[in-house]
Chains A and B, each alone.
Chain A
Amino acid sequence: MFEYTIFLCVILFFFIFQLFSTHEKMSRKTAVLQQCCPRANFISVEHLRFLQALITWKSVISLLRPLLLDVVPTIQQTAALALGRLAYFNDDLAEAVVKEDILPQLVCSLSEQNRFYKKAAAFVLRAVGKHSPQLAQAIVECGALEALVICLEDFDPGVKEGAAWALGYIARHNSELSQAVVDAGAVPLLVLCIQEPEIALKRIAASTLSDISKHSPELAQTVVDAGAIAYLAQMILNPDAKLKCQVLSALSQIAKHSVDLAELVVEAEIFPVVLTCMKDSDEYVKKNGATLIREIAKHSPELSQFIVNAGGVAAVIDCIGSCKGTVRLPGIMMLGYVAAHSENLSMAVIVSKGIPPLCTCLLEEHEDHIKAAAAWALGQIGRHTPEHARAVAETNVLGTLLSMYMDIRSSEDLQLKAKRALKNILQKCTYLPALEPLLHDAPPNIMKHIVGQFSKVLPHDSKARRLFVTSGGLKKVQEIKAEPGSLLQEYINTINNCYPEEVVRYYSPGYSEMLLERVENYQPVL
């Protein structure tokens, strides 16, 4: 009898595992299919097979339930593992697990059984909790949090890891669930887990702390009060890339909420160590490092000043230059935030050669949101004084911004940001060679600013006037039709007043016809 149950269990497990490798492929395939043809009304063969498999697996769950109460501990563990795998891949199956009342059983036995069972049970809870907030709420309601927190005090690091992972997945969804996790007393134990020597445990504990603190400032304050920042700051030096990712993400989630929290994070002496993360070979470490610096820089000019003094701007600029894609985005936003605070900081960004990487981003990237961020950052850099605007305009990026604004295919966000950036830069730009190409293509609302700038500079600079005429700018200005009394007309009048009347008449449209008419009407004096 004993051997028979073992045999059955082993066979069942093999079966489950084999089918799971194909199940995994199937679920991935259907996910890809759903992405590619969202409006496809046909049900593919794989879809049908997938649905059939789903129905059979739901009945398997009810079969597995009594096995959880078996005498032999290995069967219990294997059954729990099987349940976990089932629940992991599909949320319907996870709901079925919840409906079959398996969770209270698991929770009871979590406190009693040996460590392998605890690991498997924690895996089941994690698999159920990851899919949606309702399922996570169901887990919280059956009292799993206290049991998981007790597991966090266990000696075996694998049990701690499983418990911490499950808590992390539960806390990820929204702030009420996070608050429930915190109320169960998980945070001090997680901080203890971070200090353990096992790397995997550290990773999971850091990721859980990050998930808890990301929702609200009070939760972040709770995490900080448990003394997490010092340990997290020490772990930045660890060579493991995934650990660094999680630690940086946790610190950035803490720092993002308020100035005080950001100052606390900075006081833990993360600079200049964080800058070494920007040179890491792993892309996500670079991204998370840039995110952390961004979250700190955005709060106040003093923090930005501190980062600039520590050489953070140079590191971020190098990072932007070396990466491609969404990895660049936090770095771009960080430059924008730093430049937005004050003109000295903006000048510091310019001096650190920040503008060329931003221009290349604007030109090279395919995603609209990255381009929008780059446009916004350029606008923030150039909007302070004519010096800044000149520095931005000298790179000939105004034309790119204009084309992005005019392009129909760019998203609304991109158009809006490009327009605002262009306006901000143009209102301070006195560098005429950069403005002239824009005269030819700009729409009326931008044209008003360009002509306005010309009207401010031309009355005082004779060389610029000459250049304006020879480059064809005066001709273009005459061709602009503006309503009388509008601002644009006033600017045009100001420009026309800078030149003698003959010149203006010469360049106005239809002058050649007018001359020919005069020739026709002329009565020669005989």
Chain B
Amino acid sequence: MAALVRLETRLSRLREEYFLKNRSVDEDRKIVYKAAVKIQSWFRGCRVRAYLRYLNKMAISIQKWWRGYQSRRYFRKMIKTAYFIMKMNFYNEMAVRIQKRWRGYYVRKYTHNYYALKKYLEAISLNNEIVRNELQEYAEMNEKKKKKKDLEKKEKEKKYKARKMHYLLSTEQIAGIYNSPFRKFPDPMELLLRQSKPLSHRQQQPKSPFTYDLYDWPTCKRPPAFPTGEPLPPIGRQKPQGPFRDAAEVLRQRYKPLEPTLRVAASISSPLEKAREEMKREEWRKCIHDNEFLPFSSYHKNEKYELSIHASEKIGKETYGIKHFREVQPNKWIAGKNSCIS
């Protein structure tokens, strides 16, 4: 029981103790709870943060890896393009060198060929010389011709004049004007006069008033004449009696020349036949022998043996004129051998 008393004494303090205890525990609990909660939350936070950090690290790692991959790819591409560009530049440069050489060669050989141009210009000079020489010759020839023509004309004129003035020729007694006695030798005109024949008197053609203007046309040869028909009949002729036709008409009719048509004028055989005949004649003339030309394969079949002249004649001299004279045909004789007619 002592325990119980002690308990009872403590009982009054029990409630307070209990309450206080509970309260302190409660407060402790609260504090502890809060502390626990804090610790837990902090821990949880740590954990989550650790997790997030981890996630972050992983994400970074992935991204890092991916970005590296992309950039390497890009870099590779860049390198490829740079390489390609380098290659192309190189090729271009080489191509430029080739083209440079080729273009220089081509232009120097074909377009602006210096040596060909030089040769061409030399050839032109040569050609010009030739042309100039030829033209010079031509001009000289022309001049010579002209001079010759002039000379000939003058000669002709002189001769004509000499012929007209033949009467000025000197005679034995009287010296002509070109043969003065004080000269050593006669004038050339005198010699010309001696050589020339005097002109005959020719009827001078009456100069018609229309000559100059219509003659100006070089192609007009005759002046226009008054219309002249037949000459008038002689005066005092007896007029023929009766209603005869005019004599001139009759004569014209009688002596009218034959005007055959083309068909009549041409020969009977047409030109074609004539040509054919001509051809035949030509061929016959040209032919050497009349034997037909046989092909060689059938030559020996149609061969005719021809005796030579020696074999076809008798041996010995010709008997005609020596042994017998006339031709004798005894079967035609009427009488016999002993008749007197033979």
Q: Which A residues fall within an 8 A CB radius of B? A: 10, 13-14, 17, 73-74, 77-78, 81, 116, 119, 156-158, 161-162, 198-201, 272, 275-276, 278-281, 308-311, 313-315, 318, 344, 347-348, 351-352
Contacts and interface: CB of A to CB of B under 8 A. Distances in A.
Contacts of B124: 308-309, 313, 348, 351-352
A130 to B, nearest CB: 16
28 contacts: A13-B209, A14-B209, A81-B213, A81-B214, A119-B214, A119-B217, A158-B217, A161-B217, A162-B217, A198-B218, A198-B219, A199-B218, A200-B217, A201-B219, A276-B135, A279-B138, A309-B124, A311-B127, A311-B128, A311-B130, A311-B132, A314-B129, A314-B131, A315-B135, A344-B120, A348-B124, A352-B125, A352-B128
Interface string B119-147: 01100110111111001101100110010
Contacts of A347: 117, 121
Contacts of A199: 218
Contacts of A276: 135, 138
B227 interface: yes
Interface of B: 117, 120-121, 124-125, 127-132, 135-136, 138-139, 142-143, 146, 209-210, 213-214, 217-220, 224, 226-227
Nearest to B124: A348
B117 to A, nearest CB: 6
B219 A158 contact: yes
Contacts of A315: 131-132, 135
A74 B125 contact: no
A78 B214 CA distance: 10
B209 A119 contact: no
A318 B226 contact: no
A308 B125 CA distance: 10
B132 A318 contact: yes
A275 B135 contact: yes
Contact of A10 (B132, B209, B214): B209
Given A116-B214, A157-B219, A281-B146, 16 more contacts: A74-B226, A116-B220, A119-B220, A161-B219, A162-B217, A198-B219, A200-B219, A275-B135, A276-B138, A281-B143, A311-B127, A313-B128, A314-B127, A315-B132, A318-B135, A347-B121
Chain A interface secondary structure, helix, strand, loop or mixed? helix
B232 to A, nearest CB: 16
Contacts of A74: 224, 226
A15 B121 CA distance: 68
Nearest to A352: B128
- Interface centre among B124, B125, B146, B210, by most chain A C-beta atoms within 10 angstroms, is B124
Nearest to A350: B121
A367 B131 CA distance: 31
A308 B110 CA distance: 20
Contacts of B127: 309, 311, 314
By DSSP majority rule, is chain B's interface helix, strand, loop, or mixed? helix
A318 B136 CA distance: 10
A415 B224 CA distance: 60
B142 A281 contact: yes
Nearest to A6: B226
A314 B128 contact: yes
Given A272-B131, A276-B135, A309-B127, A200 B218 contact: yes
Contacts of A77: 224
Nearest to B129: A314
A81 B224 CA distance: 13
A275 B130 CA distance: 12
A348 B122 CA distance: 9
Contacts of B224: 73-74, 77, 116
A136 B139 CA distance: 42
A361 B128 CA distance: 21
B78 to A, nearest CB: 48
B293 to A, nearest CB: 51
Nearest to B130: A311
User: Which 7 pairs of residues, A with B, have the shortest CB-CB distance?
Assistant: A311-B131, A314-B128, A158-B219, A157-B219, A279-B139, A200-B218, A116-B224
A466 B305 CA distance: 115
Contacts of A313: 124, 128
Most buried by A among B121, B129, B143: B121
Q: Tell me which of A78, A309, A314 has the highest count of chain B C-beta atoms within 10 A of its own C-beta.
A: A314
A481 to B, nearest CB: 43
Contacts of B146: 281
Given A10-B209, A77-B224, A351 B125 contact: yes
A194 to B, nearest CB: 15
A344 B117 contact: yes
B110 to A, nearest CB: 13
Nearest to B221: A158
B135 A278 contact: yes
A292 B269 CA distance: 58
Contacts of A201: 219
A276 B132 CA distance: 10
A27 to B, nearest CB: 18
A341 to B, nearest CB: 15
Contacts of B128: 311, 313-314, 352
Contacts of A272: 131
A313 B127 CA distance: 10
Nearest to B112: A344
A281 B136 CA distance: 12
Nearest to B146: A281
B131 to A, nearest CB: 3
Contacts of B226: 74
Contacts of A116: 214, 220, 224
A158 B210 CA distance: 16
Contacts of B130: 311
Residue of B125, B127, B128, B213 contacting most chain A CB atoms (<10 Å): B128
A514 B117 CA distance: 57
B219 to A, nearest CB: 4
A78 B125 CA distance: 62
Nearest to B117: A344
Contacts of B210: 78
The winner among A17, A309, A315, A352 for most chain B CB atoms within 10 A is: A352
A281 B142 CA distance: 9
Contacts of A119: 214, 217, 220
Given A315-B135, A352-B128, A73 B227 contact: yes
A306 B29 CA distance: 129
B128 to A, nearest CB: 4
B131 A275 contact: yes
Contacts of A351: 121, 124-125
A192 B125 CA distance: 42
A482 B142 CA distance: 62
B107 to A, nearest CB: 14
Contacts of A161: 217, 219
A347 B129 CA distance: 16
